[in-house]
Amino acid sequence: MDSKSNAALRTAEPLAEAGTTSGLKRQDSEQPTSPTRNAAQTSEAPRRLQTGWLKTMGPRYLVRIAALIVAVLLWELASTRGFNFYINFDNIPAPSVVGSALITELTGQEFYLHILHSLERVAIAYLLAVIIGVLLGVAMGRSRWAEDIILPYIELLRPIPAVAWIPLAILMLPTEQSSIIFITFLGALFPVILNTVHGVEQTNGVLVRAARSLGASRTAILWHVVLPGAMPSIVAGLAIGMGVAWFSLLAGEIISGQYGIGYYTWNSYTLIQYPQIIIGMLTIGGLGTLCTLLVRKGCNPLLKWQAKGGRS
Amino acid sequence: MNEALANDNRLAVLDHSRLQAKSGTPGAERGRISVRDVDIVFDTASGPHTAVENASLTVRPGEFICLLGPSGCGKSTLMNTIAGFVTPSSGEVRVDGVAVTEPGPDRGMVFQQHSLFPWKTVKENVAFGPLMSGVGSQEANSVARTFLSLVGLAAFENAYPNTLSGGMQQRVGIARALANYPSVLLMDEPFGALDAQTRIMMQENLLDIWREFRNTVVFVTHDIDEAVFLSDRIVVMSASPGKIIADIDVDLPRPREQSLLTSPEFMALKRQCLDLIRKETLNAFKQQNRAG
């Protein structure tokens, strides 16, 4: 539900923009004697947009849900009939089978333990990645020296997939837990750094000059101008980083680990528990999406200045 | 409703001890600008480019001057040296006897457009200067409210800049620059992006505010009407290289209103400026032809 409303906001943006520009035109022939009337107009606009949003987006959501239902039905058919034409559904459990297996899992304790372990690893790795990534990103965006020193490492290491780090992670780090966290951290780190650098480098020069002429120090400019200006880009990096963290975590958990949803998925394969494989996969997808969404929602207060109009 | 009432006696709440002394008391006067033999040369890909050549200019405390000239004549560059953003290649700029080396809160800046912090509300934008000067946030907010009512935008203190019209944004920009009680106000074509009606109203507003403040204003524009309407003195610049070619006193009575725009005295001054700029432009064309 939440992921859908997120997608919908994106599509609704042109609408919002049209609403504010027409509002601006009205205000341009401004009469300083009636500022309250203008205020009333601006507060009216969002309400109008919201009902419009339901009207235009409601049917689209019905289509989206219908599309998912069709896919599940086709899958059920293919599995029960043993569809085998290049793609083989013979060994794939039907949605109904997966569903009943899921109910069994949900009533036990083991399944939640797997999820908790994965969540803990992602939380630690992600937190580290955000702190280090934003710090390095700001340093690189502000200082040519820092960028020249750090950038070569990033260019070299970024394309290496998480799975390729597994042997080194096991060799270098003391515990299995720390290896998995390290791999997850690396996955989340690069998008956070690169988006932070991008955001910081786009700092608006006029705003910096305005701040300086108002008596702001370098630190104040960083805090009041550079970071808020970079925030949209940083938040995008945080969301992407969360997604990458999840699939890096899985790589780590498949090879080593005793708990975790990745371990659960891989272990089900070796134990020939096919429904559990699909449960594992869908859980990963669901948790990844949920966490990304939480990051976006959590960062919304930092970007509330963007929501009210299209222009910057 | 309350805001509208507050606007009427809006000027009463200014901190009068920080305003420019009305007259007399010469020791208390602030905002004397002296620009002496300033050359500004930029290094460009095609070699050095002289933006401003041998500019000398004195602005008295409390004087309102316009730097007038075609685009690219270096008038903004010259103003940016007073602001402290551009260091002259030779010569010097002093404000109240102190050489300008960097921007500072004694010289408020109003930019052409889109210079408000979009992530700060209107009130936070105006409170930014006082906050940077070290007063507490409560004090800064109360100064911000004072200045927002001064420009008639008290009702919008919690709005974000991108919800305001261009004219309203510029009024916030003026309030923000004035909130530091600067001795010099530097304005870089602040009304250039506004439509004609809004622009005239903004000019009248600005003069109203300035009548209270009496600080020195350097106003850059390429609009002759605007220059004549606003200023005590018009400093005309020519393009490539940017040179000061004339210094015209504007002896029109104040307070000035829109009706002034059609008076014979206004027309005479406007014609004087037009002739000067036309002569200068023709000269430039002739030089270009000879060179080509």
A292: exposed, middle or buried (Cβ count in 10 Å: 0-12, 13-18, 19+): buried
Residue A212 confidence class, pLDDT cut points 50, 70, 90: very high
- Residue A69: pLDDT band with limits 50, 70, 90: very high
CB A13 within 8 A of CB A310: yes
Q: Quick check: B115 and A210 CB within 8 A? A: yes
The H or E element spanning position A84 is strand A84-85
Minimum Cα–Cα distance from B197: chain A residue? A29
pLDDT confidence of residue A308 = 52
Residue B291 pLDDT level (bands cut at 50, 70, 90): low
User: In chain B, what is the straight-line distance between the N-terminal and C-terminal CA atoms, in Å?
Assistant: 65
By Cβ distance, the residue of B4, B129, B166 closest to A36 is: B4
The pLDDT value recorded for residue B28 is 57
Question: B118, A312: Cβ pair inside 8 Å?
Answer: yes
Which chain B residues are Cβ-neighbours of A311 within 8 angstroms?
A: 162
> Average of pLDDT values for A118-125?
96
Are B182 and B105 within 8 A, CB to CB? yes
Tell me the C-alpha distance between A161 and A158, whole Å: 8
> So what's the pLDDT on residue A122?
96
Q: What average pLDDT does this structure show over B207-220?
A: 92
The mean per-residue pLDDT over the stretch B67-93 comes to 92
pLDDT at A25 over 50: no
Distance CA B138, CA B74 (A): 41
Residue of A nearest to B129 (CA): A214
Listed range (A29-33, B207-211, B218-222, B275-279) with the worst mean pLDDT: A29-33
Please, is B278 exposed, middle or buried when counting C-beta atoms within 10 Å of its C-beta (0-12, 13-18, 19+)?
Answer: exposed
Nearest CA in chain A to B164: A24
What value does the mean pLDDT take over residues A227-252? 94
Who has greater pLDDT, B93 or B71? B93
Quickly count: other Cβ atoms within 10 Å of residue A99's Cβ: 13
- Whether residues B85 and A209 touch (CB distance < 8 A) is answered with yes
Give the least confident one: A99-108, A260-269, B7-16, B77-86: B7-16
| pLDDT of amino acid A256 | 67
B128: closest chain A residue by CA: A214
- In this complex, the residue of A30, A206, A220 whose CB is nearest that of residue B168 is A30
Q: Which two tokens stand for residue A79?
A: 């599995």
pLDDT value for B183: 93
- Say yes or no to pLDDT of B283 above 90: no
pLDDT surpassing 80 at residue B288: no
Q: What is the pLDDT of residues B136-154, one digit of tens each?
A: 999 999 999 999 999 999 9
Q: Please list every residue in chain B whose beta carbon sits closer than 8 Å to the beta carbon of residue A308.
A: 159-160, 162-163
Query: Cis peptide leading into B88, omega within 30 of 0?
Result: no
pLDDT (mean) for A224-241: 96
Q: With bands split at pLDDT 50, 70 and 90, how would you rate the model's confidence at B30?
A: confident
pLDDT of residue A309 exceeding 70, the answer is no
HSE of B95, CA atoms in CB hemisphere, 13 A = 26
What band does B285 get if pLDDT is binned at 50, 70 and 90? confident
- pLDDT band of residue B120 (cuts 50, 70, 90) is very high
Each residue of A271-295: pLDDT tens digit? Answer: 989 999 999 999 999 999 999 999 9
Domain ranges for chain A, please list them. Answer: 1-27+34-92, 98-305
What per-residue confidence (pLDDT) applies to A43? 45
Q: What is the model's pLDDT at position A9? A: 37
Whether the complex's predicted ipTM is more than 0.90 is answered with no
> So what's the pLDDT on residue B18?
74
Taken in order A53, A57, A59, A65, is the CA torsion positive or negative? negative
Q: Tell which wins on pLDDT, A74 or A1.
A: A74
> Model confidence at A22, in pLDDT bands (50, 70, 90)?
very low
> From the list A215, A225, A308, which residue is nearest B162 (CB)?
A308
Where on the phi/psi map is residue B252: left (φ > 0), alpha (ψ -120 to 50), or beta?
Answer: beta
Is the model more confident about B18 or about A261? A261
H-only helix segments in A143-226: 144-157, 166-172, 176-201, 205-213, 218-221
Task: Decide if pLDDT at B5 tops 50.
Answer: no
Cβ B83–A213 below 8 Å, yes or no?
Answer: yes
**How close is the nearest chain B Cα to the Cα of A33, in Å?**
7
Q: Cis bond leading into B241, ω under 30°?
A: yes
Contacts of B189 in chain A (CB under 8 A): none
Q: How confident is the model at residue B286 (pLDDT cuts 50, 70, 90)?
A: confident
Contact A245, A125 (CB under 8 A): yes
Helix (H, G, I), strand (E, B) or coil at A87: strand
Model confidence at B56, in pLDDT bands (50, 70, 90)? very high
Which residue did the predictor score with more confidence, B257 or A193? A193
DSSP class of A310? S
Average pLDDT in chain B: 88
Cβ contacts of B114 on chain A, cutoff 8 Å? 206, 312
Cross-chain Cβ contact B1/A36 below 8 Å: yes
Domains detected in chain B: 2-117+184-194+206-291 (3.40.50.300)
Fold of A98-305: MetI-like fold (1.10.3720)
- As a whole number, the mean pLDDT across chain A is 83
Please judge whether B119 and A33 are an interchain contact, meaning their C-beta atoms are less than 8 angstroms apart: no
Residues B117, A33: C-beta atoms closer than 8 Å: no
Question: What residues in A contact B168, CB-CB < 8 Å?
Answer: 27, 30
A27 interaction partners in chain B (CB closer than 8 Å): 164-165, 168
Cβ contacts of B197 on chain A, cutoff 8 Å? 29
pLDDT of residue B12: 44
Looking at residue B20, its pLDDT comes to 61
pLDDT confidence band for A41 (50 / 70 / 90): very low
Is it the case that residue A46 has pLDDT exceeding 70?
A: no
* pLDDT for the residue numbered A42: 45
* A5 to chain B, closest Cα gap in Å: 24
Give the closest of B7, B166, B180 to A214, CB-based: B180
Question: B165 or A7, which is more confident?
Answer: B165
The partner residue sitting opposite A308, judged by closest CB among B115, B129, B160, is: B160
List the single residue in B with minimal CA-CA distance to A220: B132
Q: Which stretches of chain A sit within 8 Å of chain B by CB?
A: 20, 23-24, 27-30, 32-36, 38-39, 42, 206-207, 209-217, 220, 224-225, 228-229, 231, 305-306, 308-312
CA dihedral B147, B153, B157, B163 (to 10 degrees): -130
pLDDT score, position A14 = 37
Mutate to test the interface with B, among A20, A34, A214, A235 (most CBs of B within 10 A): A214
- Tell the residue number behind the tokens 């609408």, with chain if given: A15
User: Which positions in chain B touch A33 (Cβ < 8 Å)?
Assistant: 4
- Confidence at residue B92, expressed as pLDDT on a 0 to 100 scale: 94
- The span from the CA of A184 to the CA of A284, in Å, is 14
Residue range B247-279, pLDDT digits in tens: 999 999 888 988 888 999 999 999 999 888 888
Q: What are the strands of the beta sheet with B64-68, ordered from one edge?
A: B107-110, B184-188, B216-221, B64-68, B233-238, B243-249
Asked if B163 lies within 8 A of A224 by C-beta distance, the reply is no
Lowest mean pLDDT segment, chosen from A13-17, B196-200, B262-266: A13-17
Whether A35 has a pLDDT exceeding 50, the answer reads no
- pLDDT band per the 50, 70, 90 thresholds, residue A156: very high
Q: Do B167 and A228 touch (CB under 8 A)?
A: no
B102 contacts on A by Cβ (under 8 Å): 212
Which whole number is the average pLDDT over A72-94? 89
